[in-house]
Amino acid sequence: MTAEQAAPASAAQIAVHWREEEYRHPPARFIAQANAGDPRILERFGEDHFPECFKEYADLLSWDAYWHTTLDTSNAPFWRWFVGGRLNACYNCVDRHLPSSRNKAAFIWVPEPETERTEAVTYQELYRRVNEFAALLRDFCRVRVGDRVTFHLPMVPELPVSMLACARLGVVHSEVFGGFSGSACGDRIADSGSHILVTMDGYYRNGELIDHKAKADEALATARKLGMEVDKVLVWRRHPGRYASASPMVDGRDYFVDDLIKEYRGLLVEPVSMPAEAPLFLMYTSGTTARPKGCQHSTGGYLAYVAGTSKYYQDIHPEDTYWCFADIGWITGHSYIVYGPLALGTTSVLYEGVPTYPDPGRPWRIAERLGVTIFHTAPTTIRMLRKLGPDEPAKYDYHFKHMTTVGEPIEPDVWRWYYEVVGKREAVIVDTWWQTENGGFLGSTLPALQPMKPGSCGPGVLGIYPVIYDEDRNVVEAGSGRAGNICIRNPWPGIFQTIWGQPERFVQLYYEKYCRNKDSTDWHDWPYLAGDGAVQAPDGYFRILGRIDDVINVAGHRLGTKELESASLTVAEVAEAAAVPVVDELRGRVVEMYVALKPGIAASAEIEAKVAGAIETEIGKIARPRSVWIVPDMPKTRSGKIMRRVIAGISNFADVGDVSTLANPEIVDDIRHRVQGVKVSRGEVPRELSSQEVEEITAFGRAEG
Ligand code: WTA
- The confidence score (pLDDT) of residue 15 equals 44
pLDDT tier for residue 689 given thresholds of 50, 70 and 90: confident
Residue 104 gets which letter from DSSP?
S
Report the alpha-carbon distance of residue 650 to residue 643 in Å, rounded.
Answer: 11
Count H helices, E strands: the chain?
23, 30
The rounded percent of the chain whose pLDDT value lies above 90 is 87
**Is the distance from the beta carbon of residue 332 to the nearest atom of ligand 1 less than 6 Å?**
yes
- pLDDT of 674 > 60? The answer is yes
Atom of ligand 1 lying closest to residue 530 CA: 21
Torsion sign, CA atoms 318, 321, 326, 327: positive
User: In this model, does residue 290 exceed pLDDT 80?
Assistant: no
Type of residue at 440: G
Q: Is residue 457 within 6 Å of ligand 1 at its C-beta?
A: yes
Tell me, in angstroms, the distance from the centre of ligand 1 to residue 531's CA.
10
Phi–psi pair at 395, nearest 5 degrees? -80, -5
Q: Does ligand 1 lie within 6 Å of residue 285's CB atom?
A: yes
Q: What pLDDT does residue 549 have?
A: 82
Cis peptide before 581 (omega within 30 of 0): no
What tens digit of pLDDT does each residue of 68-89 get? Answer: 999 999 999 999 999 999 999 9
Residue 61 above 60 pLDDT? yes
Q: What is the pLDDT of residue 693?
A: 82
Lowest-confidence region among 535-539, 554-558, 602-606, 696-700: 696-700
Nearest atom within ligand 1 for CA of residue 436: 18
Q: Is 176 helix (H, G, I), strand (E, B) or coil?
A: coil
DSSP helix, strand, coil percent of the chain (3-state; round to 5): 35, 25, 45
Q: Is 458 in the pocket of ligand 1 (CB under 6 A)?
A: no
Q: What percent of the chain has pLDDT over 70?
A: 97
Strand partners, 279: 298
CA of 593 relative to ligand 1 center, distance in Å: 23
Tell me the C-alpha to C-alpha distance, in Å, between residue 135 and each of 38, 149, 175, 342, 645.
Answer: 45, 14, 20, 21, 53
Q: Helix 123-139 vs helix 158-169: angle between axes, to the nearest 10 degrees?
A: 60
Q: What is the pLDDT of residues 117-161, one digit of tens each?
A: 999 999 999 999 999 999 999 999 999 999 999 999 999 999 999
> CA nearest 670: which of 627, 629, 624?
629
> Residue 207, class by beta-carbon neighbours within 10 Å (0-12 exposed, 13-18 middle, 19+ buried)?
exposed
Tens-digit pLDDT profile for residues 199-256: 999 999 999 999 999 999 999 999 999 999 999 999 999 999 999 999 999 999 999 9
Which atom belonging to ligand 1 lies closest to the Cα atom of 332? 5
- Could you read off the pLDDT of 564-594 as tens digits, one per residue? 999 999 999 999 999 999 999 899 999 999 9
Classify residue 593 by burial, with Cβ atoms within 10 Å: 0-12, 13-18, 19+: buried
Does any ligand 1 atom lie closer than 6 A to the CB of residue 435?
Answer: yes
Q: Whose CA is nearest to atom 14 of ligand 1?
A: 408
Ligand 1 center–CA 434 separation, angstroms: 5
DSSP 622: G
Pick from 164, 51, 170: nearest CA to 489: 51
Pick the range with the lowest mean pLDDT from 287-296, 356-365, 616-625: 287-296
| CB of residue 544 inside a 6 A radius of ligand 1 | yes
Residue 11 pLDDT level (bands cut at 50, 70, 90) = very low
- Ligand 1 in reach of 409 Cβ (< 6 A): yes
With cut-offs at 50, 70 and 90, classify the pLDDT of residue 696.
confident
The verdict on the CB of residue 407 being under 6 Å from ligand 1 is: yes
pLDDT value at 413 more than 60:
yes
Residue 17's pLDDT is what? 52
pLDDT beyond 50 at 448: yes
What is the residue-wise DSSP string for 572-593?
TTEEEEEEEEEEETTTEEEEEE
Instruction: Judge contact between 457 and 441, C-beta under 8 A.
Output: no
Among 295, 553, 696, name the best residue to mutate to test ligand 1's pocket (greatest count of ligand atoms within 8 A of Cβ).
553
Res 18: pLDDT: 59
Cα(402) to centroid(ligand 1), Å? 20
Among 3-7, 66-70, 201-205, 549-553, the range scoring the smallest mean pLDDT is: 3-7
Nearest CA residue ID for atom 22, ligand 1: 435
Q: What is the pLDDT of residue 556?
A: 87
In the predicted model, is pLDDT for residue 4 greater than 60?
no
Confirm or reject: Cβ of 490 under 6 Å from ligand 1. no
> Do strands 402-406 and 374-377 pair parallel, antiparallel, or not at all (unpaired)?
parallel
Quote the pLDDT of residue 13. Answer: 41
Q: Which residues contact 116 (CB under 8 A, 6 or more apart)?
A: none
Q: What is the pLDDT of residue 621?
A: 93
Instruction: Tell me how far CA of residue 362 lies from CA of 86, 206, 388, in angstroms.
Output: 43, 12, 12
Q: Using 50, 70 and 90 to split pLDDT, how confident is the model at 705? A: very low
Stretch 253-262: mean pLDDT: 98
Q: Tell me what pLDDT residue 86 has.
A: 98
Model confidence at 702, in pLDDT bands (50, 70, 90)? low
SS3 336: helix
Q: Which of 533, 550, 551 is nearest to 542 (CA)?
A: 533
Indicate left, alpha or beta for 66 from its phi (over 0: left) and psi (-120 to 50: alpha): beta
- Is the minimum distance from the CB of 553 to ligand 1 under 6 angstroms? yes
Burial class of residue 167 (count of CB atoms within 10 Å of its CB; 0-12, 13-18, 19+): buried
Q: How far is the CA of 702 from the centre of ligand 1 (A)?
A: 20
632 pLDDT more than 90: yes
- Does residue 380 have its Cβ closer than 6 Å to ligand 1? no
- Average pLDDT over the chain, rounded to whole? 94
Residue 524: Cβ-neighbour burial (10 angstroms; 0-12, 13-18, 19+): exposed
Q: How far is the CA of 551 from the centre of ligand 1 (A)?
A: 11
Q: Quote the CA–CA distance of 380 and 361 in Å, as a whole number.
A: 16
**Which residues sit opposite 246 in a β-bridge?**
none
Cβ–Cβ under 8 Å, residues 476 and 533: no
Residue owning the nearest CA to atom 3 of ligand 1: 409
Cβ 431 under 6 angstroms from ligand 1: yes
Q: Is the dihedral of CA 54, 506, 529, 511 positive or negative?
A: positive
Nearest CA to ligand 1 atom 10: 435
Q: Mean per-residue pLDDT for 655-671?
A: 90
* pLDDT for residue 292: 87
Q: How confident is the model at residue 8 (pLDDT cuts 50, 70, 90)?
A: very low
Ligand 1, atom 23: closest residue by C-alpha: 407
DSSP designation for 53? G
Alpha carbon separation from 139 to 134, 158, 175 (Å, rounded) = 8, 19, 21
| Atom number, ligand 1, closest to the C-alpha of residue 444 | 15
Radius of gyration of the chain (CA): 25
**DSSP helix/strand/coil, 481:** coil
Q: Going by DSSP bridges, is the β-strand pair 293-298/498-499 parallel, antiparallel, or unpaired? A: antiparallel
45 CA to middle of ligand 1, Å? 24
pLDDT for 667: 94
Question: The dihedral of CA 485, 486, 490, 494: what is its sign?
Answer: negative
Please name the residue whose Cα sits nearest to atom 5 of ligand 1: 435
For range 302-311, the mean pLDDT: 98
Residue with the nearest Cα to atom 8 of ligand 1? 435
pLDDT in tens, 357-397: 999 999 999 999 999 999 999 999 999 999 999 999 999 99
pLDDT grade for 690, boundaries at 50, 70 and 90: confident
Q: Whose CA is nearest to atom 6 of ligand 1?
A: 435
